[in-house]
Amino acid sequence: QIYALSFPEIIDPETGEPVRALAVESAKTIRVEVPKGTNITHLTPVLELSPDSYNAVFTQPWDTPQDFTSPVSSEDKSKTVTYTVTVVERQED
C-alpha cells in the first residue's frame, strides 16, 4: 500500500513545505496539486509506503523524473496493485 506521494523539489507556496498528497486506499488513487507553471511531465516523486507494505517493490524507476500519464504500480510478491496518480496544476485565485 502506498501511503503518500511527495515531490520534495516542489515547495507549496501556501505552506512552505514540499508538495505532498495522501493516497485514497479504497480507490487506489493519489491526487497531487502542484503550483501553477510546474512541468507535470518531469517530476521525481518520493513514495511513502504504509507500514503493512514492507515487502513491496516498485515496477517504475522512481529515482528518475516521471511524466505521470500512466498508472503507478507497486508489487508485493505475486500481487500487483495499481494506483492512479493524477497531478494537476493549482489554479490561481
pTM as predicted: 0.79
Instruction: Please give the grid coordinates belonging to residue 26.
Output: 479504497
In total, the chain counts a number of residues equal to 93
Model confidence pLDDT, tens digit, residues 27-48: 988 999 999 988 888 889 888 8
Closest CA to 30 of 51, 58, 70, 2: 2
Mean pLDDT of the chain: 81
